[in-house]
């Protein structure tokens, strides 16, 4: 994900004496609770049901599905919050400059801090503008650029043009042999292995409600028997057990020869009819995990299947799983297998701040039956065939991906092919201009080849970029599918995630730096930013902070997530490049990606790879940058 700001916790369990107040600037979209100011609307996330809200001396109730509206000057929104009130607002703006955390402060103190933060923000904006002007003058942004897309030469927005120049001149490493297929990434330490998902879903007229069937085949990669598997129903974080967004019913477990599945000793579990609440003993982690016991222990290399009927209801609220009017974004909705390794099952909670998702490379065959007037950009390569009158059946295949995401809506679509042969489609919601969509396509085409030159060939052939400027994040990554605002840095960052998290997997909950710091560094490299002086700009603020800290830490220190994991993390990689030399760094990252292609990497793996690449003793470096 790309976050330029650190969202504050929004939830039902904010300590009574702590208020976390966000604010935006002119024209920003801010999620604010209704009731703080009567003319403001809110988007309450993570809360199941309603939330008692203090405001002007009364308790108001709100629902979690209201959409944010644009407000002219959001600072006013906090002025009626009293000392000791517990409420959080989540700014959703690119231009949000910062946050003020208030613990028992007076209203006057809140106002003072807000004014100070605004001053800081205005200074930063002025400095940004000056830097941009200097930068533009140096790089001749009006230089016409050839495009590699199917749309011929077009005039680019100056900012895109600058980036395109940088991407064009970025030094690429020499070609190397193609990376391995998944067979080379066989991993007996993590199971269930070789997951294969077959999914058939049919939507209603809106594309927000899907019904169908999912079948998962897997094997036990581990020498330790498998007694159960877990399905992750990540998107139940939105409604919890009370109103789950993802429902699994009529669950069947097969075991034995894969083809015989249900016939060979399989059991049928029909106890999961209805909502997850119907079988509370099986649901864990706020109904985001469903335990599926196997009839008998599954030995190493033996296979099993789980299949079930599935419903997915995309809620209102613009998010990676949510709706923006007629457009639905369906990230993390398909139930996927949790991972078991030497530390046990990974059953971490959902993180709204970043990602909790941890999956092994899998194959997906997904059929989406939808109204023909809705497009369904998705992970993978799609083929459309006519369905019932007025409907289209889109069959999508994706190999070696960790998850599958899609969207549905009356998108505008443009497409192109990169010089390296990657087909990229850009899907835009209604108010994205054709010029912006084209600029993002051109940038995506250059970026995918640029990243591929550094980290290995992009293996998926196709990629979909979905644009909506109302996302409250700058961008969100899925395999071969990204959500973005019209924001160059975001698309470069998300495309870097195709390698860091996608191709080279990691446990995003326990070591988010392995994907976010690397994606941010890759973005900086693509944009010609060398991170000069970055260590001084990103000081540690407490002894507890570690670059290798897990999401459980950042979810309780959300204002430090971006400064440490994004800024400090990419800075550490810049410093490593300076320490071991640029050529060694280039080779290190390329070879590290190859070594973990379609597999999973850990901090220990990266440290070992880095140390093996240089004669410089990196012990002091790891210590300084708190990479444990
Ligand atoms: Zn990211």
Last residue of a domain, one of 357, 386, 410: 410
Least confident of 195-199, 427-431, 538-542: 538-542
State whether 155 and 192 are in the same domain. no
Residue at 272 is within a domain: yes
Q: Are 26 and 116 in contact (CB under 8 A)?
A: no
Phi, psi of 562 (to 5 degrees): -70, -45
Asked if residues 322 and 314 have their Cβ atoms less than 8 Å apart, the reply is yes
- The answer to the question of residue 6 being in a domain is no
**What is the per-residue pLDDT across 5-17, written as a single tens digit (0 to 9) for each?**
433 333 222 222 2
Calculate the alpha carbon distances from 285 to 237, 276, 282, 481 in Å: 9, 12, 10, 27
496 alpha carbon to ligand 1 midpoint, in Å? 8
Closest CA to 234 of 135, 121, 358: 358
More confident site: 539 or 38: 539
Residue 261 has pLDDT above 70, yes or no: no
Q: Verify that 406 and 468 share a domain, yes or no.
A: no
pLDDT at site 127: 54
Q: What is the pLDDT of residue 371?
A: 98
The answer on 443 and 394 residing in a single domain is no
Q: For position 126, what pLDDT does the model report?
A: 57
First to last CA, the chain: 23
Out of 10-19, 408-417, 535-544, 578-587, pick the least confident.
10-19
The reported pLDDT for the residue numbered 282 is: 85
Residue 286 and residue 323 in one domain: yes
Distance 515 CA to ligand 1 centre (A): 7
Q: Residue 497 Cα, ligand 1 centroid: separation in angstroms?
A: 7
- The CATH code of the domain that includes 602 is 1.10.390.10
Distance CA 95, CA 90 (A): 13
pLDDT at 297 over 60: yes
pLDDT in tens, 366-378: 999 999 999 999 9
Distance 546 CA to ligand 1 centre (A): 18
| Cα of 514 from ligand 1 centre, angstroms | 10
In a shared domain, residues 583 and 565: yes
Q: Report the separation in Å between the CA atom of 566 and the middle of ligand 1, taken as the mean of its atom positions.
A: 8
The pLDDT score that the predictor gives to residue 354 is: 92
The mean per-residue pLDDT over the stretch 490-518 comes to: 96
Q: What is the pLDDT of residue 289?
A: 96
> Which whole number is the average pLDDT over 501-506?
97
What CATH number did the domain enclosing 308 receive?
2.60.40.1730
Q: What backbone torsions phi and psi does residue 171 show, to the nearest 5 degrees?
A: -70, 125
In a domain, 503, yes or no: no
pLDDT, position 2? 72
If asked whether residues 397 and 466 sit together in one domain, one would say no
Tokens linked to 406: 């899609």
Q: Which domain holds residue 116?
A: 14-170
Q: Cβ distance 331 to 415 under 8 Å?
A: no
For residue 358, report the distance from its CA to the centre of ligand 1, in Å: 14
For residue 551, is pLDDT > 80?
Answer: yes
Greater confidence (462 vs 353) lies with: 462
Greatest mean pLDDT among 30-44, 456-470, 515-529: 456-470
Tokens coding 602: 């850990």
CA pair distance 465, 451, nearest whole angstrom: 16
Query: pLDDT at position 216, please?
Result: 97
The answer to whether residue 2 sits within a structural domain is no
Query: Which pLDDT value is given to residue 463?
Result: 98
109 and 23 within one domain: yes
Residue 167 CA to ligand 1 center (angstroms) comes to 19
CB count within 10 Å of CB 326 equals: 16
Lowest model confidence (mean pLDDT) among 106-115, 389-398, 444-453, 528-537 = 106-115
- Claim to verify: residue 200 and residue 315 sit in the same structural domain: yes
More confident residue, 286 or 171: 286
Task: Give the CATH number, domain containing residue 459.
Answer: 3.30.2010.30
Cα–Cα dist 231/623, whole Å:
38
- Which region among 183-187, 480-484, 499-503, 512-516 has the lowest average model confidence (pLDDT)? 183-187
**Residue 327 alpha carbon to ligand 1 centre in Å:** 23
Domain limit, last residue, from 410, 427, 447: 410
The CA distance from 498 to 476, in Å, is 11
**pLDDT value of position 455:** 97
- How far is ligand 1, taken at its centre, from the CA of residue 532, in Å? 21
Residue 129: its H or E element? helix 107-139
**pLDDT for position 178:** 57
Whether the model clears a pTM of 0.75, i.e. scores above it, the answer is: no
Ligand 1 centroid to Cα of residue 491, in Å, is 10
Partners of 484 in beta bridges: 467, 475
- CA of residue 501 to ligand 1 center, whole Å: 9
Same domain as 472, residue 383: no
Last residue of a domain, one of 410, 438, 464: 410
405 and 418 assigned to the same domain: no
Q: What is the pLDDT of residue 105?
A: 35
Picking from 23-37, 441-455, 509-523, which range would have the lowest pLDDT averaged per residue?
Answer: 23-37
pLDDT of residue 240: 84
Say if 4 falls within a structural domain.
no
**Does residue 328 surpass a pLDDT of 90?**
yes
Identify the three-state secondary structure at position 390: coil
The more confident residue out of 113 and 429 is 429
For residue 506, being part of any structural domain is answered with: no
Compute, in angstroms, the gap from residue 511 CA to the centroid of ligand 1. 13
If we measure between CA atoms, which residue out of 19, 29, 20 comes closest to residue 319? 29
Taking 60 as the threshold, does the pLDDT of residue 296 lie above it?
Answer: yes
Q: How far is the CA of 390 from the centre of ligand 1 (A)?
A: 38
Q: Residues whose CB is under 5 A from ligand 1 (ion)?
A: 1, 516, 519
**E strand or H helix at 482:** strand 481-484
Mean pLDDT, residues 600-623 taken together: 97
Question: For the chain, what is the domain count?
Answer: 4
Expressed in angstroms and rounded, the spacing between residue 50 Cα and the centre of ligand 1 is 30
The answer to whether 313 touches 163, Cβ cutoff 8 Å, is: no
Domain assignment of residue 19, yes or no: yes
pLDDT average, residue stretch 267-289:
58
Give the whole-angstrom CA distance, residue 361 versus residue 126: 45
Share of the chain above pLDDT 90, in %: 57
Is pLDDT larger for residue 194 or for residue 458?
458
Distances (CA, A) of 373 to 103, 206, 207, 322: 51, 10, 10, 19
Confidence of residue 3 (pLDDT cuts 50, 70, 90): low
Mean pLDDT score of the chain, rounded to an integer? Answer: 75
Is 175 among the domain residues? no
Which of 385 and 62 is assigned the larger pLDDT?
385
521 CA distance to ligand 1 middle (Å): 10
Distance from the CA of 365 to the center of ligand 1, in angstroms? 26
Q: Are residues 251 and 361 in the same domain?
A: yes
Quote the ligand 1 centre to 1 CA distance (angstroms): 3
Q: What strands, in cross-sheet order, belong to the sheet with 475-478?
A: 412-417, 423-428, 462-467, 481-484, 475-478
Task: Please tell me the distance between residue 394's alpha carbon and the centre of ligand 1 in angstroms.
Answer: 29
Q: Give me the pLDDT at residue 607, please.
A: 98
- Same domain? For 118 and 209 the reply is no
Give Cα 533 distance to the centre of its chain. 28
CA–centroid distance, residue 495 to ligand 1 (Å): 9
**CB count in 10 Å sphere of residue 626:** 18
Q: Decide if pLDDT at 511 tops 60.
A: yes
Provide the H-helix boundaries in 501-581: 513-526, 534-537, 551-554, 561, 569-580
Confidence band, pLDDT 50/70/90 cuts, at residue 516:
very high
CA of 480 to the centre of ligand 1 (A): 14
């Amino acid at each position: 994900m790309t976050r330029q700001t650190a969202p504050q916790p929004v939830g039902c369990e904010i300590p009574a004496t702590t208020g976390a107040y966000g604010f935006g600037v002119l024209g920003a979209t801010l999620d604010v609770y209704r009731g703080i100011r009567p003319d403001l609307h809110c988007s309450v996330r993570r809360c199941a049901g309603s939330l008692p809200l203090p405001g002007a001396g009364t308790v108001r109730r709100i629902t979690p599905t209201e959409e944010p509206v644009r407000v002219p000057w959001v600072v006013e929104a906090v002025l009626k919050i009293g000392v000791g009130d517990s409420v959080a607002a989540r700014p959703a703006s690119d231009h949000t400059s910062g946050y003020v955390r208030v613990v028992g402060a007076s209203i006057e103190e809140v106002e003072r801090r807000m004014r100070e933060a605004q001053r800081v923000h205005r200074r930063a904006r002025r400095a940004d503008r000056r830097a941009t002007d200097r930068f533009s003058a140096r790089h001749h942004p009006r230089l016409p650029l050839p495009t590699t897309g199917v749309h011929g030469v077009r005039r680019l927005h100056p900012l895109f043009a600058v980036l395109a120049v940088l991407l064009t001149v970025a030094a690429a490493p020499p070609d190397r042999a193609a990376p391995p297929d998944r067979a080379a990434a066989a991993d007996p330490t993590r199971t269930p292995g070789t997951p294969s998902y077959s999914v058939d879903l049919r939507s209603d007229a809106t594309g927000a409600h899907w019904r169908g069937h999912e079948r998962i085949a897997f094997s036990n990669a581990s020498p330790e028997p498998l007694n159960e598997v877990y399905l992750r129903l990540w998107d139940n974080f939105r409604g919890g057990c009370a109103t789950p967004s993802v429902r699994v019913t009529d669950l069947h477990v097969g075991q034995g020869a894969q083809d015989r599945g249900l016939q060979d000793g399989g059991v049928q579990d029909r106890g999961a009819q209805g909502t997850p609440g119907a079988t509370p003993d099986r649901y864990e982690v706020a109904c985001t995990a469903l335990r599926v016991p196997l009839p008998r222990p599954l030995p190493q290399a033996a296979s099993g299947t789980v299949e079930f009927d599935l419903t997915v209801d995309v809620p209102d609220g613009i998010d990676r799983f949510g709706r923006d009017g007629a457009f639905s974004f369906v990230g993390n909705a398909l139930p996927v297998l949790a991972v078991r390794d030497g530390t046990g099952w990974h059953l971490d909670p959902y993180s709204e701040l970043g990602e909790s998702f941890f999956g092994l490379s899998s194959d997906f065959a997904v059929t989406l039956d939808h109204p023909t007037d809705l497009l369904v950009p998705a992970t993978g390569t799609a083929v459309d065939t006519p369905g019932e009158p007025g409907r289209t059946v889109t069959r999508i295949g994706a190999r070696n991906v960790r998850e599958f995401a899609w969207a549905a809506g009356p998108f505008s679509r443009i497409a192109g092919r990169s010089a390296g042969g990657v087909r990229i489609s850009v899907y835009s919601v209604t108010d994205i201009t054709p010029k912006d969509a084209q600029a993002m396509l051109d940038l995506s085409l250059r970026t995918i080849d640029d990243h591929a030159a550094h980290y290995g060939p992009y293996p998926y052939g196709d990629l979909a970029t979905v644009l909506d400027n109302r996302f409250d994040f700058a961008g969100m990554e899925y395999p071969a599918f990204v959500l973005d605002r019209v924001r160059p840095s975001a698309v470069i960052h998300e495309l870097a995630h195709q390698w860091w998290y996608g191709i080279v997997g990691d446990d995003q909950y326990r070591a988010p730096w392995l994907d976010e710091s690397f994606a941010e560094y890759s973005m900086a490299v693509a944009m010609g930013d060398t991170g000069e002086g970055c260590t001084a700009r990103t000081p540690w603020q407490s002894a507890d902070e570690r670059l290798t800290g897990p999401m459980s830490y950042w979810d309780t220190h959300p204002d430090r997530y971006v400064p440490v994991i994004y800024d400090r993390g990419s800075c550490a990689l810049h410093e490593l490049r300076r320490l071991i030399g640029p050529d060694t760094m280039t080779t290190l990252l390329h070879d590290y990606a190859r070594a973990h292609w379609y597999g999973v990497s850990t901090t220990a793996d990266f440290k070992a790879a880095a140390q093996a690449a240089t004669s410089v003793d990196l012990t002091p470096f790891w210590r300084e940058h708190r990479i444990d």
